[in-house]
Each structure stands twice: as C-alpha cells, then as structure tokens.
Amino acid sequence: MCGRFVQSLSPAEYAQSLNLDLFDSTPIGRYNVAPTTGVHVIHQVGDRYRDSVIPWGWKPQWATGGRPGPINARLETVATKPFFRPIWKSGRCLVGADGWYEWKTDPDDKKRKQPYFICLKSGDPLLFACIGQLPHGDEEPGASDGFVILTGAADAGLVDVHDRKPLVLSPDFALSWLSSDTSADDALHIAEHQELPAEAFEWYPVSRDVGNVRNKGPHLIEPIDDPLL
C-alpha cells in the first residue's frame, strides 16, 4: 500500500517527463507527503493540461460519516466498484513523484518496522496512475475534489511481497492514460498491462523519522547503514 511518497521536484519537471512544456518551475520540496494533504496532480481540461492541488483521498458525496475517504484504489475492482464509479470514466489523472515509502514488518514483532524508499533505477520521476474528482476549466478546486492512487496486485510488492504497490506508468502510456480520447476500457487495459515492472525499481532503507508526518526534508530519503530489517 502506498501511504507516503515524495514530491520534491517542480510541477514543470514532472510535466517535462511527459514532454509537456508548462506549469510552475518552483520546486514542491515535499519529502513526506501524507494522506489528506494537498498534492499536485496533472489532468486534462479540454484540449490542454493543468496542474491542480487537491487532497489525497476521496469519497463520493453519498458516503456519509466522519471517516476520510480512501487514498488508494485496487486495480482489480476499481472499474466495477460503485464507490469509484463517479470518477473512473472521467477522472483519470497523474501524480508525479520521486518515489514512495514502504515499510517492512518483522514477522515476529508486528510493531517492529523498517521504512524503505523506492524509486526508479534510472533516477527519472515516477508517474502514478490516479483517478479523482477534479476541477473543471479554470475553476478553483472544490471541497469535494480529491484523488486516489491505483495500486497493483497483492503479489506486486517490492520490499515486502505482501504489500501492494502504486501503479507506475511510462511517460508514453501515462499520456494515453490522461487523454480524453482514451476510452475507459482502453485505460483499464493500460493499467492492467503497461505498469513498469519490478526490475525498473530500486529500494533502500531510510530513517524511521519518515513515520512521523511532522518530519520533513531531504534527509528522509538518504540511505542508512543500520536498518532494523
């Protein structure tokens, strides 16, 4: 499960990986992005692309109760689950990231966990396939806007094979994912068959400081020499 990630580059740098020459060149500088916080999201508006900041997490208006909405959606059920029906066909978007964190748990002591940072071996930005309720035209994000990250099958974990991993697309397929010309069926095919393979990634242990959302800064992605696990 993807529960924390890094978005340190500028919106322009993430867009450049898609050969899009637009967006703000100011670095975002976030090394511990947590659920419910505002995140830069790339989406299509008419015949152009837009960078919007909307919360990580979403639920439909009919979902009552005080609990926040989910932050991830399972690829296996996202196209058919009524919960995500309002955003599946028309809410495709991308989140640019440097990498994400995953925790390895001691099987003999569930409270003993070691975080790892996962990124591309190439050093290129990651492009998470997402769906969300998104702003239209030039309007500001609304109170109901938000997004979820699609996650791969249970055997797709990297650090721990039991973990789910975010769906990461290559730039070419990421653009097709974004395009309004891509049907919902074709988008599902992309998600099911075109995610980057495990061999494209590398990972290493990092400080347990990342477990506290108040901790920020580039030291969080520096490798450590004495991991717990």
- Which strands make up the sheet holding 109-120, listed edge to edge? 30-33, 5-7, 99-106, 109-120, 201-205
pLDDT at 107: 86
Out of 102, 119, 130, 195, pick the active-site residue.
Answer: 102
DSSP labels for 52-101? Answer: EEEEB----TT--SSSPPPSEEETTTTTT-GGGHHHHTT-EEEEEESEEE
Distance in angstroms (rounded) separating the CA atoms of residues 117 and 103: 9
Is 102 known to be catalytic? yes
pLDDT at 20: 92
pLDDT at 159: 81
Distance in angstroms (rounded) separating the CA atoms of residues 10 and 97: 10
pLDDT at 161: 58
Domains of the chain, each with CATH number or no CATH: 5-221 (3.90.1680.10)
Is 13 known to be catalytic? no
Residue 107: CB atoms within 10 Å: 9
pLDDT at 64: 78
The pLDDT averaged over each successive group of 10 residues in the chain (229 residues) is 94 95 92 98 95 97 86 96 93 98 91 94 98 94 96 75 86 97 97 93 96 97 95
CB of 147 within 8 A of CB of 41?
A: yes
Distance in angstroms (rounded) separating the CA atoms of residues 54 and 189: 26
Residue 193 half-sphere exposure, CB side, CA atoms within 13 Å?
Answer: 6
Which of 59, 63, 71 minimizes the C-alpha distance to 166?
71
